[in-house]
Amino acid sequence: MDFITLKAYAKINLALDVIGKRANGYHDVRMIMQTVKLYDKVTIKPMTNPDIVIKTNLHYLPTNENNIVYAAAKLFKETYQISDGLYINLEKKIPVAAGMAGGSSDAAATLWGLNTLFETNIPMKELMELGLKLGADVPYCILRGTALSEGIGEILTPLPAAHNFHCLIVKPPVSVSTKYVYENLDLNKAENHPDVDGMVEAIKTNDILGITSRLGNILETVTLKVHPEIEDIKKTMLSYGALNSLMSGSGPTVFGLFDDLSAAEKAFYAFKVGPYGKQTYLTTFFQ
Ligand code: ATP
């Protein structure tokens, strides 16, 4: 095989709860993860020269060890003694630093692609364990689909495919530091823990309103205070007929779930011509 191109899909959180903080600073979470069909493209081509060369369409992303794709390629090469160099082209579409696990998904696609390209036949479970060294969400990005994520994100329970909503994604042009959000979450005061177990049941029984009524993200308490436009986007989505809307991850991306395609399209076009138009997407769940 000369080269391989992979789709690295984004995720949203249908529910995100934080239940504790570990001494090492990591947080224990309970999250319902859902892959959506918004993706980056990762193309990998082996080279005789032993270097790892990264090219990307986003000029502000690092192309050295600080790009998680570089780190994933280096880890795979070292772990499985691959001497070839790699030329990797990263075509970003997933909003960056947005709560959609874009980097984690690029890393997952890189590991998966290298396993295919070099015919190393590493079982998925081992690939997920390797991915955890790169980031807590990487194992999930290898698994994909609908899943309950616990521990620091590495304990994964696959769930049946959730109802396939039309999913409107809007990323306002503000930067949110995941570190800031977690550090400013006061677990003693937080009252709005989402009903994660109820969400699992609603997904298992395909209870559409059971799912949408339980959308919840404990991190909203922190991020919304700093970026009130997130609340405005959520409300606008509801006014266009979204069954519900929520911030994904630590934000600032907001998603709205629609059952009615024409309502979703009307909302999409309204956001497209507004101030957040550049990063507005209408997609569906990856199942
Ligand atoms: P998560 O949902 O896991 O918190 P995120 O959406 O908040 O992910 P990413 O888009 O993965 O965050 O990127 C966060 C930071 O990592 C960016 O500021 C960026 O500079 C750096 N980075 C390194 N590699 C990548 C990559 N391949 N894609 C995007 N960002 C990357």
pLDDT tens digits, one per residue of 204-233: 999 999 999 999 999 999 999 999 999 999
Evaluate if residue 190 carries a pLDDT over 80.
no
* Cβ contact 253:100 at 8 Å: yes
Q: What would the pLDDT profile of 93-139 be if each residue is shown by its tens digit?
A: 999 999 999 999 999 999 999 999 999 999 999 999 999 999 999 99
Q: Are 176 and 199 in contact (CB under 8 A)?
A: no
Q: Say whether 74 sits in a helix, a strand or coil.
A: helix
- Which of 40, 106, 137, 171 does the annotation list as catalytic? 137
Ligand 1 touching residue 42 (CB < 6 A): no
Q: Return the axis-axis angle of helices 102-117 and 68-79, rounded to nearest 10°.
A: 30
Catalytic pick from 11, 77, 92, 234? 11
Atom number of ligand 1 nearest to Cα 56: 27
Residue 249 to residue 67: CA distance in whole angstroms: 20
The protein residue whose alpha carbon is closest to atom 21 in ligand 1 is: 67
Helix ranges restricted to H, the chain: 68-79, 102-117, 124-132, 138-143, 178-183, 196-204, 208-213, 220-226, 229-239, 261-272
Is 207 a known active-site residue?
no
Residue 257 parent element (H or E): strand 254-258
Pairing of β 4-21 and β 216-217: parallel
What's the pLDDT band for 273 if we cut at 50, 70, 90?
A: very high
Phi first, then psi: give them for residue 169, nearest 5 degrees: -120, 125
Q: What is the pLDDT of residue 187?
A: 87
Helix (H) or strand (E) holding 9: strand 4-21
What percentage of the chain carries pLDDT values higher than 90? Answer: 94
Mutation probe of ligand 1 site: the residue of 60, 96, 152 with most atoms within 8 A of C-beta: 96
Burial of 66 (0-12, 13-18, 19+ CB in 10 A): exposed
Instruction: Give the per-residue pLDDT at 79.
Output: 98
Average pLDDT, the chain: 96
Ligand 1 probe mutation, 18, 29, 43, 68, most atoms within 8 A of CB: 68
The model's pLDDT over 162-186, given as tens digits with 9 standing for 90+, comes to 899 999 999 999 989 999 999 999 9
11 given a catalytic annotation: yes
pLDDT confidence of residue 135: 96
Claim: this prediction has a pTM higher than 0.85? yes
CA 197 from chain center: how many Å? 21
